[in-house]
Structures are given as structure tokens and as C-alpha cells.
Amino acid sequence: MLSRVADSLYWMSRYIERAENIARLLDVNLQLLLDFEAMDDDKLKEHWEPVIRAAGEEELFNELYDQADSQSVTDFLTFNRENPSSVISCMFAARENARMIRDQISTEMWQCLNHAYLFLKSNNAKKVWEDGPYEFYKQILDYSHLFQGMTDSTFTHTEGYYFMQVGKYLERAEKTSRILDIKYHILLPSVEDVGGAIDAVQWGALLRSCSAFEAYHSIYVTSVNPLKVSDFLIFNSNFPRSILFSVRHLDSNLRKISGSNPGFYSNDVERVSGRLVSDMTYSNIDDAFKSGLHEYLGMLQERFVEIGEAMFANYMFHTRPDMATEIASQQQQQQQQ
């Protein structure tokens, strides 16, 4: 497979996953506000800032907007084309990657992304959002799920598919860790100090942001407990959006690309991903809290970056050179004198 194609498959898949996560995050947080009485500006700010942080676009937001409120944040993260992590930017980027490799993916996959693109590009999109953000975000989630389903059932499960899975799970692990990290920003230093109704609502929202509310309650009958929520989202081995689950699937798909056996590695990306799997397999939530949840999540995020970089170095290093800076230069010539 061409390196460029692998690169596009990987990013197409990552962008779709990213769009889905941002859409869900926004939807849940908009709904969460309904549970509270009217909030003043500061409270609203407190509510939305972590969301921007979870999307990883704090600086850009401050450049573009004066104030963090429902209007500005949702606009920034949904429709703003200047924000590379907005829902619309991600969907467009996914579709653009698909377009670059249209001959390599199934017609169904292409039509799904193209349909999403045409929807978002139309005036209708904004109207649907104004009529009810829930319907809008639901539509985005549907596109993502439709796309994943079509990928599963119409795209050959060979190398290209594995690259897509790697992209998806890496993005998912990354986003789940960031969404969980939001709570750290809301929480006080000591976990035991918090409790109460509002907090339970917040933790519930967190689970919903990861589509984990129902799955969580099928395991833990008790009310929402911060320790258990963290445990569930980080270490549950069967829930498909938990970090450990994502990391394991990431790792196994990497191995399918190279054909190397578990317990061994054939390149650097397998080495760093395998190491992360075993580190996580042999840790539990107490270890994570011991080092501090935020610190632990920060460590995970660094490892995700490491995997992404190794991925690039190993499979995509042949990929397009940075043409803007590495343009072919003319050899200097001597004047004949």
C-alpha cells in the first residue's frame, strides 16, 4: 500500500472519530446546563473552559472570542472553520482525506462522507442546529457510526483497514483521556471532599460524553462514584471507549499490519504501543490516583503522541516531503567569465 494512502486512511478515520467525540461532548454539556438554574457569566465560563481544553484548542479560542459562553463555545467547536478541531473542520478534513484516496475506499464509505459534507455545507445544517442542537449532534454521531459500520462491512479487512483502526483507536484513547481530564479541572485536589447532587450530575455527564452511562450502570448499580467512573473509563477491558480497550485494539491492529506476534515487536511503533499496553494492563486505578489522576492522564497523552510519531516515522516517513520548505532547489551555477 502507498504510504500516502495509508496516511490518508489513518487520518480520515481519526478525523471522523474526533468529530464524533467533539459532537458528543458539546451535546452533553449543553444538556447539562439545562439541569442548572440560570448561571452567571463566571459560572458559565467555568463550565465551558474545560470543554475547550478537552478539545485542545484553548489558545485559538482566546484569540477568536472574548468570552466563553454557550454561544461562543458551541460556535467555536461546531461551525468555526478556523478551528481545526471543530466538528465541521473534522468532517471536512475526513472527507478531504477520503477524496484524496477515493479509488481506495468503497463507494459506500465515500458516499457517506460526501453526504455528510453536503449536509454540513448546506444552509440546512445551521438551521437544524438552531432548531435543536440535539438533533444536529445526533446527525453527526449517526454519520460517524454509519461510516464505521460501512467500513466494517464494505471495506476489505486488510492493511488499509488496520491503518484506519489504528487511527480510530488512537484518537478515541486520546479523547477519552482528555474528557476525563475535564473533571480534574473541576474537582478539588482531594477526591474524597466532593460529593453531592451537582457533582453526581457532572460525573454522569462525563459518562454520557463517552457514551458510557448505560454501560457503567450495567456494572455498577450504585450511584456515580468518581473513583469507579475513572476506573471504568480508563481500565475497563470490555467497554469500547475505555482507554485500555482502545489501546489494546490499537496494538492488535498494529500487529496485523506487520504480522508480528504478541510479545514481540518488529518496529518502533509496536514497541511503544506494546509497552503502553503492558503498563496499563499491570496497573490499576489506585496507581493512577497515587500519582494524581491529572498527572496520570497527562502521562498517557504523552504516550499517545509518542505512538503517533512512531507511526509516522515507521510507515509514513516516505510520505510527501514538506513541499513548502523542502522544494527542489536549483543547483547554483557559475557565470562564465
- Under the rule (CB under 8 A), what is the footprint of another protein? 1-4, 6, 96, 99-100, 102-104, 107, 110-111, 114-115, 118, 159, 163, 257, 315, 318-321, 323, 325-337
For 336, the 3-state DSSP assignment is coil
HSE value, Cβ hemisphere, 13 Å, CA-based, for 63? 7
Rounded Cα distance, 93 and 248, in Å: 26
Q: Residue 50 or 160: which CB sits closer to another protein?
A: 160
The least CB distance from residue 261 to another protein, in Å, is: 18
Q: Residue 153 or 329: which CB sits closer to another protein?
A: 329
Eight-class DSSP state of 103:
G
Q: Residue 63 or 103: which CB sits closer to another protein?
A: 103
The least CB distance from residue 155 to another protein, in Å, is: 14
* Element housing 79 (H / E): none
Q: Cell numbers of 40, please?
A: 452567571
Q: Residue 220 or 312: which CB sits closer to another protein?
A: 312
Burial of 82 (0-12, 13-18, 19+ CB in 10 A): exposed
The least CB distance from residue 161 to another protein, in Å, is: 13
Q: Cell numbers of 303, please?
A: 504516550
Q: Cell numbers of 273, please?
A: 504501543
Rounded Cα distance, 215 and 326, in Å: 50
**Is residue 284 a contact partner of residue 244, using CB atoms and an 8 Å limit?**
no
CA quadruple 248, 257, 161, 2: dihedral, nearest 10:
140
Q: Residue 3 or 283: which CB sits closer to another protein?
A: 3
Q: Residue 125 or 233: which CB sits closer to another protein?
A: 125
The least CB distance from residue 8 to another protein, in Å, is: 10
CA 182 to chain centroid: 14
Neighbours of 158 (CB within 10 A): 11
The least CB distance from residue 107 to another protein, in Å, is: 7
Rounded Cα distance, 109 and 97, in Å: 12
Q: Residue 44 or 105: which CB sits closer to another protein?
A: 105
The least CB distance from residue 258 to another protein, in Å, is: 9
Tell whether the torsion through CA atoms of 50, 212, 285 and 196 is positive or negative: positive
The least CB distance from residue 308 to another protein, in Å, is: 16
